[in-house]
Structure 1
Amino acid sequence: MNVSGVPEPKIEYAPKHYICGRARETLVLDGRVDKPFWAAADWTDDFVDIEGDLKPKPAKQTRVKMLWDDEYFYFAAELIEDQIWATLTERDSVIFYDNDFEIFIDPDGDTHQYYEFEINALNTVWDLLLVKPYRDGGPPVNGWDISGLQTAVHIDGELNRPGAANRKWSIEAAMPWKSLRECAAEGRPPVQGEFWRVNFSRVEWRVEVQNGEYRKVVNPDTGKPYPEDNWVWSPMGLINMHYPELWGYVVFAGEDGPESFELPPDERIKWELRKLYYRERNYFASHGEFTNDPKLLMNDGEHWSITPVIETTCSLFQISTPSTDRQSIFCIREDGKLWKE
């Protein structure tokens, strides 16, 4: 059996969080984020590099607002930009070949069955469902669409015109719960007080002007464009968005709160299980077998709050540990699926 290793993120577990309030009126989408519909919603923190503190802060600001009601999950994003360009016009193109804005949603937080959405400045979208992360075998379901999706883009400047007085572009998206609930717990929309795991990414390419048009800057050593920058809301600790366990917490609030969020203790337990999953996979890649000895995976000097039990076969493993209240058991297996019993 071929079991690949899994890079372990170089980051402390501290995902961002956002209190998502209720929408108080009907949204008419035009891509503008400076209208009354969004006035009561807070901005997220400014985006950072996907690797977090390992890299400098982005040169251009990106931030997001969110709201919800009984029908939709609403998003607004503002991307400061002096080079506004896009080329792709066909739905479900690989949108990140352009500068883009991306939304990732894992409703039940098990890292399987989650959504990815990408949009460029032409309002071309790519929406897909991931059965599981690529590290766990995928696959992406490109034929899946967010039924009833509404999107709009507003450009403060001029698209594909170098030298224009460009300031920013912004997007709005309304995603119906009737589509998003497909991968949610119990197949339903969220209720007040629950959270979903969400993250956002901005892809930014290095471009120059050639013959009056924007062109990606080519690295003369490789003959290919320089790698894109990836700027995100909640940092990942590595260049890979498909680690849903590191996405932020979006808490669905009512008109009267909650006004704050504290990480539930069980989320810390799940993160420690996740670290053991990385290391068990990496142990197999090095030794050709899994280990049922937690001491071989838990480094000296690290603080652990769990006492895991590991069961293995020649090709499978399951790691389990009690929940905080010891009324349930959390389990994770070799393909990254995490659940509660």
Structure 2
Amino acid sequence: MLNLLSSIAKSAVVLALLAAPSQAGETPVVQATRTSTPPNIDGRLDDSVWHQAPTIADFFQREPIEGAPPTEQTEVRILFDDDHLYFALRCFDSEADRLVANQMRRDAELDENDNIQIILDPYNDRRGGFYFSTNPLGARQDLLLTDEGRTRNQAWDSVWQSRTRIDSLGWSAEVAIPFDQVRYPDSDQAVWGINIGRAIRRKNEEVFLVPPPQSYGFRGRYRTSRLAVLTGLGQLQSRPPLAVVPFLLSGTQRDFAADGSTEYDLDPGLDFKYGLTPSLTLDLSYKTDFAQVEADQEQINLTRFSLFFPEKRDFFLEGAGIFEFGERVERQGSGGRPPTLLFYSRRIGIEEGHNLPVLAGGKLTGRAGPYQIGTLRMTTQAMTFVDEEENQEGREDTILDTLHVAQTDFTVLRIKRDMLGRSNLGFIAIDKQPGSEANYNRTGGVDFTLSLLQAALNLRGFAAKTWTPQVEGRDRAGLLELDYRQGRFETRLNYLDMEEDFAPEVGFVPRTDIRRFKGSGRYRPRPDIGWIRMFSIGPRFTYLMDRGNTLQSRDFQFSAFVNLEIGDWFGARYRQRYELLDEAFEIRDEQEIPIGAYEFGSYSLNLFANSSRRLSGRASYEYGDFFNGTRQRISAETIWRYNARLELEGTYEFNHINLPNGAFNTHLFGHRFLYSFSPDMFVRGFLQSNSAQELVGGNFLFNYRYLPGSDLFIVYNQVWDTEGGLEQASRSLQLKVSYYWQR
């Protein structure tokens, strides 16, 4: 089968070379006007210089009626000088007192607010771009878009300005984006891709210069597949960035599970960014620090396999799109299984739940002609972790476990070659070198994307192999995936073939020795019913065998949801599963599910309340069989936005498992508060409890961006062990100050 995958991949490359990109309809053209007098960025739009630029007002709906005229008028003007690109945006609103704006913090999610969004594609190739958004309160969000906007990098942090103002006509915004914050090629007559959108949230209306098709789904607003053209910029010479960010970290920490002593730290560090070429950026980091990263959200694991946690560390998130290799990450909790990834950055600096200091690291990301390039090198410090049990006074503590981790070097090389249209061919090489040269793990692979019909039809795949000492053969894997979106229909098919000894230690692989078929389909009709916007109906399935073709797991689901005009969702799902256990499955301490074949099903109800409201949330209830017993699951999340500054959130998940050898319950609590003093200053607290892990954890963060790019962080973490009571497990307090300098 792996040979067949290789043949299909070669055929796909030939098709990509023969396929000519198609264009649908005329591409709108907008113009930027040079100015010698920069506007004052205050949100008022009263500078006379704005009258030099033509007004852009031809917007069209994406939601609710694709292609229809907007119900509210929007006007945009664009200026530029040697240093900045400027936007003046007037958002007229016939009910200005009903604007939805409940976020003030920088990098907050603005989807459920009234907002303006600007997408810039300086290469005008529709493969990605830079996303800037603001709302009536002046909150700023920026994203780096790759893979035509399918991948959104929230860690990308640009230094730009926006100011807004609310008045009787609606609201207005002025935006200044420095040219040196975006990558672009040298050009005598620069032509960029651009899209400008607006959300009128109380109507759930979205309008754009070029509306992304509704078939792109709910996140289609980020897509760069179809853009307008920005002209008038004339000759542009790129400005490779040079930025230096020194920081100082001071703190104290105590691990009560070890020797209980308190450690004090005072460590300087340095982050360095330099543009080697207009399109290639080098990032270097000494004593890379992640003090400000929020703790992982706890999960209840009732499966035999590892849980998947998303990356949250900025150094790895920035530019992460180029390093992606494997399956797309599905939203967990929706019935989707964890993905298969050849590179999973959480394998660097985290070992069995322990954080390892990163001594130094560097990465090079960007473009060289038609090539996308990413290289990464990181070194983690050797550490020893001791888990001790405290004994009575006068007796030495008992050592329960000791973990030795050698100093380890990680190296990644990723190259993708853009091909005709929006297709590409790439490869990846990954090396993990802990301790001696004889102890290594290496992964190599090639992948492709064939994109046709204006990205409505996509074929993807990869073939990969790992190298580990004393392991020969049975170490390959391959994937083929096809997805098609057109009109109200969407379908995806996926085949994964993985041999027994395929072991990418810097990747994420839920299980090996498998042949897996996976697919899904959705039909989203929009009926002519006043209070209903859309139905979403369809199945999804997973059929998994071992490589001897014995069925191991089967999962079939069918769901139906209703999307209301007011933005709420509700629906139901039926799920039928089969699991073959060739060894007993310990679902909790001293409680096992025996060897055997199990077929079981469940029903669930789901509700989502529009998060643009002051009080919003979601809830679900599931009941059904579970292996040789039953399971009842209740989950709920509520968010209360008292005003634009204060937000309170609570989450709860309850499981009642009833098995022949006994019943048990699990409880997962999460509580979060967020208070924004301004778009550049906030405080956040997070408390969570996991009965299955017998842990309670708390996290407190204060962040003040006192200058553009320069931050002050105060972080406090506390963990309690609830086994047999409530005892402190660890605590830490850290202060971090950084200063951003740019040439």
Query: Normalising TM by the smaller chain, what interval?
Result: 0.5 to 0.7
What is the TM-score with the length of structure 1 in the denominator? 0.59
Stretches of structure 2 lacking an aligned partner (at least 5 in a row): 6-22, 236-419, 424-450, 461-480, 484-491, 496-743
Call closer, same or farther: CA 1:198–1:274 in 2, change over 3 Å: farther
Call closer, same or farther: CA 1:277–1:167 in 2, change over 3 Å: closer
Q: Find out whether 1:151 has 2:162 as its counterpart.
A: yes
Distance 2:458 2:126 in 1: 17
Call closer, same or farther: CA 1:246–1:276 in 2, change over 3 Å: closer
Matching residue of 2:191: 195
Distance 2:58 2:101 in 1: 23
Tell me how large the CA RMSD over aligned residues is: 3.2
Q: Find out whether 1:107 has 2:107 as its counterpart.
A: no
SS across alignment from 1:236: coil
Residues 78-132 of structure 1 deviation map (CA, whole Å, 9 limit, x = unaligned): 1001233411011111012211111111111233341111111110111111233
Q: Write 1 or 2 for the structure with the bigger share of strand.
A: 2
Distance 2:141 2:482 in 1: 35
Decide which of 71, 84, 87 is 2:83's aligned counterpart. Answer: 71
The residue type paired with residue 97 of structure 1 is E
Distance 1:57 1:45 in 2: 11
Distance 1:167 1:125 in 2: 22
Matching residue of 2:40: 28
Decide which of 167, 184, 202 is 1:206's aligned counterpart. Answer: 202
Deviation at 1:134, TM superposition (A): 5.1
Call closer, same or farther: CA 1:46–1:111 in 2, change over 3 Å: closer
Distance 1:129 1:287 in 2: 28
Decide which of 169, 180, 184 is 1:167's aligned counterpart. Answer: 169
Decide which of 189, 194, 206 is 1:230's aligned counterpart. Answer: 206
Call closer, same or farther: CA 1:284–1:253 in 2, change over 3 Å: closer
Decide which of 225, 228, 242 is 2:222's aligned counterpart. Answer: 242
Decide which of 218, 226, 232 is 1:252's aligned counterpart. Answer: 232
Deviation at 1:53, TM superposition (A): 7.7
Note if contact 2:225-2:455 (Cα within 8 Å) is conserved in structure 1.
no
Decide which of 178, 181, 190 is 1:179's aligned counterpart. Answer: 181
Q: Find out whether 1:119 has 2:148 as its counterpart.
A: no
Note if contact 2:100-2:202 (Cα within 8 Å) is conserved in structure 1.
no
Residues 41-89 of structure 1 deviation map (CA, whole Å, 9 limit, x = unaligned): 0011332102698443211001211111110011111100123341101
Distance 1:63 1:271 in 2: 31
SS across alignment from 1:37: helix
The residue type paired with residue 103 of structure 2 is L
SS across alignment from 1:98: coil
The residue type paired with residue 193 of structure 2 is R
Stretches of structure 1 lacking an aligned partner (at least 5 in a row): 2-10, 157-165, 208-227, 256-268, 290-341
Distance 2:178 2:56 in 1: 22
Distance 1:86 1:243 in 2: 24
Distance 2:149 2:50 in 1: 35
Decide which of 453, 456, 467 is 1:278's aligned counterpart. Answer: 456
Matching residue of 1:57: 69
Distance 1:104 1:192 in 2: 22
Call closer, same or farther: CA 1:141–1:236 in 2, change over 3 Å: closer
Distance 1:14 1:196 in 2: 16
SS across alignment from 1:96: coil
What is the TM-score with the length of structure 2 in the denominator? 0.28
Q: Tell me whether 115-124 or 80-89 shows the greater mean CA deviation.
A: 80-89
What pairs with 1:258-337 in structure 2 (closer than 5 Å)? Answer: 270=421, 274-275=452-453, 278-281=456-459, 284-285=482-483
Deviation at 1:280, TM superposition (A): 4.6
Distance 2:229 2:222 in 1: 16
Q: Find out whether 1:80 has 2:80 as its counterpart.
A: no
The residue type paired with residue 119 of structure 2 is F
Note if contact 1:116-1:129 (Cα within 8 Å) is conserved in structure 2.
yes
Decide which of 9, 16, 33 is 2:28's aligned counterpart. Answer: 16
Residues 140-194 of structure 1 deviation map (CA, whole Å, 9 limit, x = unaligned): 22121222x11111222xxxxxxxxx2121101000011112xx23xx5xx5522
Note if contact 2:198-2:207 (Cα within 8 Å) is conserved in structure 1.
yes
SS across alignment from 1:206: helix
The residue type paired with residue 27 of structure 2 is P
Note if contact 1:52-1:235 (Cα within 8 Å) is conserved in structure 2.
no
Distance 1:87 1:120 in 2: 9
Call closer, same or farther: CA 1:46–1:110 in 2, change over 3 Å: closer
Distance 1:271 1:51 in 2: 26
SS across alignment from 1:75: strand
Residues 228-270 of structure 1 deviation map (CA, whole Å, 9 limit, x = unaligned): 2111112323262233131110013459xxxxxxxxxxxxx95
Matching residue of 1:221: none
Higher normalized contact order (CA 8 Å, seq sep 6+, divided by chain length): 1
Matching residue of 1:305: none
Distance 1:21 1:249 in 2: 14
Note if contact 2:126-2:227 (Cα within 8 Å) is conserved in structure 1.
no
Note if contact 1:52-1:237 (Cα within 8 Å) is conserved in structure 2.
no
Q: Write 1 or 2 for the structure with the bigger share of helix.
A: 1
Distance 1:280 1:113 in 2: 16
Matching residue of 2:488: none
Note if contact 1:199-1:248 (Cα within 8 Å) is conserved in structure 2.
yes
Q: Find out whether 1:90 has 2:105 as its counterpart.
A: yes
Distance 1:234 1:86 in 2: 25
The residue type paired with residue 153 of structure 1 is T
